[in-house]
Amino acid sequence: MPILSSIIEKDIAIDLGTDTTILYVAGIGIRLREPTVVTIDRTTGRVLKVGEDARKMLGRTPGNLVSVHPIAAGVISDYDMTCEMLREFIRRVTSFSLFRSRVLVCVPGSITGVEERAIVNAVIEAGGRKVYLVPSAVATAVGAGLDVNRADGHMIIDIGGGTTEAAVVSLNGVVESESIKTAGAAFDEALHVEHIGAFDESELSGMRGSKYVQSDAADAIGNAVSLLKRDIPVLFSGTPCQINGLLAALGNTKSDKLLTVDFVCHGVPSPGVFASYLAELEKERGSRVRAYAFRDKRLGWKNFSVVATFENGETHTGTQTTDPYLYGFLQNLYLRPSCHECGQLRGKRHAADITLADLWGAETICPERDDDTGLSLVMTHTQKGRQALDAIGAQVTRFAVQNMERMTRMNPSLVQPSKPHDKRAAFFKRYRSHGFESERVMKLLRGPSAAERAAKRIAHLPIGAMRRIKNLITK
């Protein structure tokens, strides 16, 4: 009977660590212990290796390959890569099972609601049937033979590869925990966008400028929570969903030392799409991209452009309609699916204290101030936000926007999420096997040429009509 049961269904437990991932199969024991590493082809976006095979390639890959750690501090930092890794790991331990498995996943005590949903969705997408989450401290205590149901307190210290967590476990739950893992988005050396912290003005430079790609905020949220618990003031900036993630991490702990700033968000593309696009640029120029500006204003604020600077000194410049990545971003071709269902924009007030945006429509809203160098829209939602804006009043030129209806009409992302492009599915179907293809992206966005449309219409004409057209042409 146990053999038959294992064939029909297998229950799995996963310890999803920053450094190592462990899979335990009920009734059998530990079946897999592999490094939490994924190697992908930047040109095609395809996953080539996972686990130990990927770890062996760290620092040894050619320019088109990159090995990444998709888990940071016990939570997902790269959703797509995590799904691919888990899919392969689960396949290895359930190859003879007829049905999808129930999966239990160990998570840090400091995990946010957003991070929890990401793990659940990733496991389901990877092949799990039902997902259960358990705090790592509770799992550790049970594994050590402690009776977690009693009212006694047990101190658990979990020293992992990416984070160290201390927790008190009692009555089958975590009483108190602290994870040692401040903040805006910046490029790292590999041009991945990550949230970083700054403790003085000199450290702010990396946060300047737009980044039209999803950022990794896992560590930043954990660090912000840790600082606030020590009564250290924090200004946290990010997308509306990242602000919600931070507030969820704080729970009922409301801090007067926290100031949150979000922005009117168009949506965020996958980091994999941007990496594949960069790989294409590097292949064309025969040189690595060392710097990238998503919002260069040398052509003006309204006609902003992207500029890629290569190690060989060359540059690539593209506008909103000539650069395929920027064009596709603005046309919603490869935004995250969750961006199209953003609950933040369905008639709800932004959770942040302050919201920033471009004042699109400045030429009609306030033409006397429009000089094409850029105007910012600043909205305050709380008393704390208004006080912060007043505190810097002397350092900025401020004026009130009188026509809020027109402003909203010119900035639709204020009140509604972006709609997916009707060619989104077609893009990703091709992207999964061929990567980012600039020529194909432009064709998807612009549609068929006039000649192609005419040929298509002719091809659908009755045979008799086609003969008459042929006779007219040949006369």
Strands 101-107 and 12-16 come out as: parallel
- DSSP 3-state percent helix, strand, coil across the chain (nearest 5): 35, 25, 35
For the chain, the residue count is 475
Average pLDDT on 378-390 reads: 89
CA distances from 94 to 5, 17, 24, 126 (A): 12, 20, 11, 12
Rounded Cα distance, 420 and 335, in Å: 7
Rounded Cα distance, 183 and 90, in Å: 35
Rounded Cα distance, 141 and 67, in Å: 33
**Of 58-67, 133-142, 164-173, 349-358, which range is least confident?**
58-67
| Most confident stretch, 151-165, 216-230, 340-354 | 216-230
**Residue 151: inside a domain, yes or no?**
no
Rounded Cα distance, 170 and 153, in Å: 5
Per-residue pLDDT, 23: 92
In this structure, are 432 and 449 located in the same domain? no
Rounded Cα distance, 273 and 43, in Å: 10
Tokens for 354? Answer: 């302050």
**Of 48-57, 324-333, 341-350, 396-405, which range is least confident?**
341-350
**Residue 218: inside a domain, yes or no?**
yes
Q: What is the DSSP string of 235-248?
A: EEE--HHHHHHHHH
**Of 71-75, 346-350, 395-399, which range is least confident?**
346-350
Average pLDDT on 276-282 reads: 87
Amino acid at 267: G
Per-residue pLDDT, 124: 92
Rounded Cα distance, 58 and 279, in Å: 18
**Residue 413: inside a domain, yes or no?**
yes
On whether the CB atoms of residues 247 and 382 are closer than 8 A, the answer is no
In this structure, are 388 and 347 located in the same domain? yes
Q: What strand order describes the sheet that includes 65-68? A: 47-50, 38-41, 65-68
In which band, very low, low, confident or very high, does the pLDDT at 473 lie, cut at 50, 70 and 90?
low
Task: Find the domain containing 218 and state its range.
Answer: 182-436
In which band, very low, low, confident or very high, does the pLDDT at 2 lie, cut at 50, 70 and 90?
very low
pLDDT greater than 80 at residue 142: yes
**Residue 429: inside a domain, yes or no?**
yes
**Residue 220: inside a domain, yes or no?**
yes
In this structure, are 136 and 224 located in the same domain? no
In this structure, are 354 and 205 located in the same domain? yes
Mean pLDDT of the chain: 77
Average pLDDT on 290-304 reads: 76
Between 189 and 292, residue with greater pLDDT: 292
Q: Which of 106, 74, 456, 420 is nearest to 269 (CA)?
A: 420
pLDDT greater than 90 at residue 400: no
In this structure, are 413 and 457 located in the same domain? no
In this structure, are 57 and 192 located in the same domain? no
In this structure, are 377 and 429 located in the same domain? yes
Instruction: Name the one residue in this structure whose structure tokens are 């064309």.
Output: 284
In this structure, are 448 and 419 located in the same domain? no
In this structure, are 249 and 365 located in the same domain? yes
| Domain end among 129, 146, 163 | 146
Rounded to 5°, angle at Cα 69 from 113 and 47? 105
CA distances from 56 to 11, 33, 36 (A): 30, 15, 12
pLDDT greater than 60 at residue 186: no
Half-sphere exposure of 254 (CA within 13 A, CB side): 2
pLDDT greater than 80 at residue 284: yes
pLDDT greater than 50 at residue 267: yes
pLDDT greater than 80 at residue 263: yes
Between 466 and 222, residue with greater pLDDT: 222
Grouping H, G, I as helix, E, B as strand and the rest as coil, residue 228 is: helix
pLDDT greater than 90 at residue 170: no
Per-residue pLDDT, 227: 79
Average pLDDT on 239-268 reads: 83
Per-residue pLDDT, 306: 84
**Residue 396: inside a domain, yes or no?**
yes
Q: Who contacts 381 (Cβ-Cβ below 8 Å, separation ≥6)?
A: 349, 350, 352, 353, 354, 355
Average pLDDT on 372-390 reads: 86
Rounded Cα distance, 43 and 50, in Å: 18
In this structure, are 235 and 374 located in the same domain? yes
On whether the CB atoms of residues 7 and 65 are closer than 8 A, the answer is no
In which band, very low, low, confident or very high, does the pLDDT at 181 lie, cut at 50, 70 and 90?
very low
In which band, very low, low, confident or very high, does the pLDDT at 103 lie, cut at 50, 70 and 90?
very high
Q: Is 166 exposed, middle or buried (0-12, 13-18, 19+ CB in 10 A)?
A: middle
Per-residue pLDDT, 164: 64
**Of 107-111, 147-151, 450-454, which range is least confident?**
450-454
In this structure, are 408 and 383 located in the same domain? yes
**Residue 418: inside a domain, yes or no?**
yes
pLDDT greater than 50 at residue 5: no
The DSSP H or E segment spanning 52 is helix 52-55
Instruction: Name the one residue in this structure whose structure tokens are 């909203």.
Output: 408
The predicted-structure confidence for 402-441, as pLDDT tens digits, reads as follows 767 777 777 777 777 888 888 988 888 888 888 888 888 8
Q: Which of 124, 159, 113 is nearest to 14 (CA)?
A: 124
pLDDT greater than 60 at residue 191: no
**Residue 202: inside a domain, yes or no?**
yes
Per-residue pLDDT, 184: 53
Rounded Cα distance, 140 and 126, in Å: 25
**Of 96-100, 158-162, 194-198, 257-261, which range is least confident?**
158-162
Average pLDDT on 127-136 reads: 89
The predicted-structure confidence for 46-90, as pLDDT tens digits, reads as follows 788 888 888 776 555 555 677 777 887 667 877 888 888 999 999
Please tell me the total count of domains within the chain.
Answer: 3
Grouping H, G, I as helix, E, B as strand and the rest as coil, residue 368 is: helix
Amino acid at 121: N
In this structure, are 378 and 464 located in the same domain? no
CATH number of residue 90's parent domain = 3.30.420.40
Rounded Cα distance, 375 and 362, in Å: 7
Per-residue pLDDT, 200: 62
